[in-house]
């Protein structure tokens, strides 16, 4: 089964971009942060978990695509 990867990126107040990659593998999704070594599996709402990590760990809440 092919896995697909998407990402959630947010900028912090200094303009640095932080990225969490979301890899889909069957029913599960793996989250992986580029900035730190945070990893987490998620079955539901992986993008929400990624956003929460970015906000809590890196104070990155600005959506660069918005």
Two tokens, residue 59: 């104070």
Query: Could you tell me the CA-to-CA distances from 40 to 13, 16, 45, 58 in Å, in that order?
Result: 25, 22, 12, 16
Which of 31, 33, 50, 60 binds Zn ion (CB under 5 A)? It is 33
The helix/strand/coil state of 18 is strand
Does 57 contact Zn ion by CB under 5 A? yes
User: Least distance in Å: CB of 31 to Zn ion?
Assistant: 10
32 sits near Zn ion (criterion: CB under 5 A):
no
Pick from 35, 40, 42, 47 the residue near Zn ion by CB under 5 A.
35
């Amino acid at each position: 089964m092919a896995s697909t990867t998407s990402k959630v990126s947010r900028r912090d107040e200094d303009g640095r971009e932080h990225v969490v990659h979301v890899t889909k593998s069957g029913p599960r999704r793996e989250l992986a942060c580029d900035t730190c070594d945070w990893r987490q599996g998620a079955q539901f709402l992986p993008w929400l978990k990624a956003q929460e990590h970015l906000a809590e760990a890196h104070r990155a809440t600005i959506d660069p695509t918005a």
